[in-house]
Amino acid sequence: MPGKRRNSYPAAFKLQVIKFAEENGNRLSTREYKIDETNVQHWRKQKNVLGVINLRKRAKRGREPFWSQLEIQLKNWVLQSRALHR
């Protein structure tokens, strides 16, 4: 849709919508909170992740790293190198 503005919502709001949707259904929650039903469906799938992140955080942005161990080692190496050169 041209001209439609995209919105982002904090995790606390998403969890509130999920709770309402579980009690009353997705369609009623979309009318109550004025959001798309696809958002509610997607958020309900993400319920476990949304429950553990910071409630003020807008979304779980980005994707999981392909080589998480390598990134951890690289981070440690950079921090050690910086500490040595100070």
CATH, residue 46 = 1.10.10
In a domain, 49, yes or no: yes
Q: What is the pLDDT of residue 52?
A: 86
Distance from C-alpha of 7 to C-alpha of 2, rounded to nearest angstrom: 15
In a domain, 72, yes or no: no
pTM for the model? 0.67
In a domain, 81, yes or no: no
The number of folded domains in the chain is: 1
In a domain, 78, yes or no: no
Q: What is the pLDDT of residue 23?
A: 96
**What are the pLDDT tens digits along the chain (86 aa)?**
577 788 889 999 999 999 999 999 999 999 999 999 999 999 999 999 888 888 888 876 667 778 889 999 999 999 999 999 87
In a domain, 44, yes or no: yes
